[in-house]
Chain A
Amino acid sequence: MRPKNNSLQITSIPCILPLTERTQPHKMQVFYDFGRYCQLLYQAIRSSSEFKSYYRNFVSEMIKTGYDSLPIVILAGAFTGAVLTIQTSYQLVSAFIPKSTIGAIVTQSLIIELAAVISGLVLAGRVGARIATELGTMRVSEQIDALESMGFNSVSFLVVPRVLAGYVMFPIIYIAAATTGVAGGLLAGIVTGQVPMADFLLGARTYFLPWDIIFGMTKSIVFGFIITSISCFKGYYASGGAEGVGKSTTNATVLSCIFILLADLLLAIILL
């Protein structure tokens, strides 16, 4: 069945350097890796128009990245909120500070900072490790070469859907983490008797700003991009068998965590 009637549209994507070729460690490895990372992103952007080649993967990646991650993110969010309420009420022991302040601090902290960062760090381990391992294993077992040799654009097939799924699903995950975090904090306040529900909600409502949600979602989109793009990069260029895949996975997780913290600081400086 020669593909005379080629149903997969092949669009013009320049290949600056052969992506599949692995070379020896470079003397300026950091710059070399950064160049390859930018090259991979450039190819991913250019090949994002080949929607037919990756829409199936895109749907399954959204499920794996988003839906499957919800339990751990909800758990992390709820416990963070609960602990935050208990610790804040422990520190604010004063007759001059109204209990509603605790609700305000917990809600603001979760929406602005903790929901995005905690879910980002958790997903750097869960999603980042999965992506790097999947692509790394595909690389060392020649599955990526097989894709390329069939005429596929392996970047559009493997990298684009994963990065796009990160873009789409991380804000949803952030909202889940923030919501369950606030709920966990409220519940902890009620159960321990340290913050009555009415006071908690009064504080949360009084200091709530819609911009905080936008700020948190912006963070989550950036974190989603960091995690998926770094993990794709590390997995796509993995080499050296099982040990190499393990190294790529570790690097993907560690680098994702580092860049999440850096981006968190930068976004706080720029946007607040």
Chain B
Amino acid sequence: MIEIKNLKKSFGNNLVWENVSLTVPDGETLAIIGKSGCGKSVLLKHINALMTPDEGSVLIDGVNIFDLNYVDLRITRQRFGVLFQGAALFDSITAYENVAFPLRYFTSLKEPQIHNRVMTCLDMVNLADIGQKGTAQLSGGMRKRVGLARAIVLEPDYLLYDEPTSGLDPETSNEINELINHFSDNLNITSIVITHDMHSVLEIADYAAFLDEQKLSWFGPIAEMTKTKHDRLNSFIRASEYQI
């Protein structure tokens, strides 16, 4: 379970947000929504301590990630898979090697086992025929899917997605959404997704968190979000031209 308690972050004199508190139960999916620049990605980077807050804590199964020493922090980070906005694939190696990368360093698997695991993950994201393509040869959607395969290759407990469908066509977006649902439903992975896409939110999320006016403006189950009287959230939903 991921619990965020009273988190506050600022860069110099610029407050990003404060008093952010929310809980994501095991196996559930949380969507973090909000306008561009409201600090969604910053919040995501606090969950696996890529950034540190001014105040507050992030509890992973009851342990504050910011209290961990660097050794334990690195071990805890291995429980997370992260899909970055631009996929963050290592461009000096092939797509296959990107997926194999964590296995080579963090497991004692032999080459045939690594190959099987990589192919299983690539197959899950429908890229089994990716072969030895370099990352520069991949389309945006393919890069995201390779990034997803790399994120799940170590069988994480938690998956963090930073705008997984941004810049993708509707069909590819749907494929990514289906994959997120598949990981959540079949692999029981707890997920946190940053997105602007309200269609995705309704498709994949169990909970939604709305960041607005430098605070967590609304947090609750998706079913309640669709009936909310929260003006700014309603306005945000309407602006996405999604008909509820």
A residues near B (Cβ < 8 Å) are 1-3, 5-8, 10-15, 18, 20-21, 23-24, 52-53, 137, 141-143, 145-146, 148-153
Contacts and interface: CB of A to CB of B under 8 A. Distances in A.
Contacts of B153: 1
15 contacts: A1-B109, A2-B78, A2-B155, A10-B71, A10-B74, A11-B71, A13-B71, A18-B51, A20-B51, A141-B86, A141-B91, A146-B84, A146-B90, A150-B77, A150-B102
B154 interface: yes
Contacts of B105: 7-8, 52-53, 152
A169 B134 CA distance: 29
Contact of A1 (B11, B86, B88, B107): B107
Interface of B: 11-12, 45, 48-52, 69-71, 73-75, 77-78, 80, 82, 84-86, 88-91, 101-103, 105-109, 117, 153-155, 160
Contacts of B160: 149
A23 B52 contact: no
A18 B71 contact: no
Contacts of B73: 15
A7 B69 CA distance: 20
Given A7-B108, A21-B52, A148 B77 contact: yes
Nearest to A147: B90
Contacts, number: 100
Main secondary structure of the interface of A (DSSP, over half): loop
A57 B102 CA distance: 15
Contacts of B77: 148-151
A7 B113 CA distance: 15
A141 B102 contact: no
Contacts of B74: 10, 151-153
A141 B88 CA distance: 6
Nearest to B82: A149
Contacts of B102: 3, 150-151
Given A2-B155, A149-B50, A10 B75 contact: yes
Instruction: Identify the 10 closest CB pairs spanning chains A and B, nearest first.
Output: A3-B106, A146-B88, A151-B78, A142-B88, A24-B12, A7-B108, A15-B70, A149-B82, A151-B74, A151-B77
A9 to B, nearest CB: 10
A3 B117 CA distance: 13
B19 to A, nearest CB: 21
A13 B73 CA distance: 11
Contacts of A12: 69-71
A3 B78 contact: yes
Contacts of B50: 18, 20-21, 145, 148-149
A179 to B, nearest CB: 33
Contacts of A8: 105-106
A250 B54 CA distance: 33
Contact of B82 (A15, A24, A52, A146): A146
A12 B102 CA distance: 20
A7 B75 contact: no
B51 A151 contact: no
A20 B41 CA distance: 14
